[in-house]
């Protein structure tokens, strides 16, 4: 894992890593904040992701180096996000986009994006944006961006207080079996 | 926090712009996204924009 320069503002309260490169293959990346978390992994295969909106169905061609990211803006168990990630990554479960102001937006504890670049924002309404380069997050993750590159993930603007953990997918599966 | 159920929401000019494609192998028509569109029915990359 390499960390480049650290950009400090306001006496270090908003310290962020400008750019961090995390080697990643089949593992899952966990970014854990004080109140929220984000899970990301490589798609690992080429497949068609269906994005269902009220108006239409979009078929997005996903590449192996693209990222599948699950955001839990209020936090929760990482295992829950892992299950959602695998539903999309392994079983290619379609993504459903709610219309704006749909009452269901308030009930979503997780949101998902799939793409080569994913930008996190706390100023979008949860579950209502079909654009896969945007993902709803908590305030502590807002402004962070992830890019899938060969052999790893580039993370930009990551607040220094966010914990970065690479989960071993195989070990995690073994732990669950025991 | 995120604007769940709240009134604040940035409206993006850049909405999803899918292009209409037809698979030259199986004839499936679909709205595709991405640089290398793939047929959702037969997974062929032999598709054309229509």
pLDDT tens-digit readout, A32-88: 999 999 999 999 999 999 999 888 999 999 999 999 999 999 999 999 999 999 999
Does any domain span residue A72? yes
Q: How confident is the model at residue A100 (pLDDT cuts 50, 70, 90)?
A: confident
Does any domain span residue A106? yes
Contact B33 A61 (CB under 8 A): yes
Instruction: Assess B30–A contact: CB distance below 8 Å, yes or no.
Output: yes
The pLDDT value recorded for residue A151 is 92
Instruction: Assess B1–A contact: CB distance below 8 Å, yes or no.
Output: yes
Residues B29-33, mean pLDDT to the nearest whole number: 95
Domain that holds residue A138: 2-7+16-167
What's phi and psi for A135, nearest 5 deg?
-140, 130
Who contacts A171 (Cβ-Cβ below 8 Å, separation ≥6)?
A: none
Considering only residues A124 and B9, tell me which one the structure prediction assigns the higher pLDDT: A124
The pLDDT value recorded for residue A92 is 95
Does any domain span residue A172? no
Does any domain span residue A177? no
Number of folded domains that form chain A: 1
Q: What is the DSSP string of chain A?
A: -EE--EE--GGGTT-EEEEEEEE-SSSEEEEE-SS-EEEEEE--S-EEEEEE-SS-EEEEEEPTTSEEEEEETT---HHHHHHHHHHHHTT-PPEE-PPTT-GGGGG-S-EEEEESEEEEESSS-TT----TTEEE--GGGTT-EEEEETTEEEEEEEETTSEEEEE-HHHHHHHHH-
Q: What is the pLDDT of residues A112-170, one digit of tens each?
A: 999 999 999 887 777 777 777 888 888 898 899 999 999 999 999 999 899 999 997 65
pLDDT-above-90 percentage for chain B: 58
A105 contacts in chain B (CB < 8 Å): 4-5
Contact B40 A50 (CB under 8 A): yes
With CA atoms as reference, the chain B residue closest to A122 would be B2
The pLDDT value recorded for residue A103 is 86
The pLDDT value recorded for residue A11 is 40
* ipTM exceeding 0.90, yes/no: no
Instruction: Assess B50–A contact: CB distance below 8 Å, yes or no.
Output: no
CA A156, distance to chain mean position in Å, is: 13
In this predicted structure, the answer to whether residue A176 has a pLDDT above a threshold of 70 is no
Does any domain span residue A176? no
């Amino acid at each position: 894992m390499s960390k480049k320069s650290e950009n400090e503002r306001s006496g270090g309260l908003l310290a962020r890593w400008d750019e961090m490169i995390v080697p990643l293959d089949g593992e899952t990346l966990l970014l854990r904040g004080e109140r929220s978390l984000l899970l990301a992994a490589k798609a690992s295969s080429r497949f068609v992701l269906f994005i269902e909106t009220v108006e239409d169905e979009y078929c997005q061609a996903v590449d192996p180096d693209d990222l599948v990211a699950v955001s839990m803006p209020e936090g929760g168990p990482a295992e829950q996000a892992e299950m959602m990630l695998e539903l999309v990554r392994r079983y290619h479960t379609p993504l459903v986009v709610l219309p704006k102001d749909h009452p269901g937006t308030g009930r979503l504890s997780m949101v998902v994006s799939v793409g080569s670049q994913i930008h996190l924002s706390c100023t979008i309404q949860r579950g209502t944006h079909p654009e896969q380069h945007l993902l709803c997050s908590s305030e502590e993750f807002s402004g962070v961006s992830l890019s899938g590159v060969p052999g790893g993930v580039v993370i930009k603007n990551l607040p220094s207080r966010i914990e970065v953990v690479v989960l071993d997918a195989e070990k995690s599966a073994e732990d669950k079996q025991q | 926090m995120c604007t769940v159920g709240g009134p604040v929401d940035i409206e993006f000019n850049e909405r999803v712009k899918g292009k209409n494609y037809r698979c030259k192998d199986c004839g499936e028509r679909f709205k595709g996204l991405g640089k290398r569109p793939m047929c959702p029915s037969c997974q062929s990359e032999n598709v054309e924009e229509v």
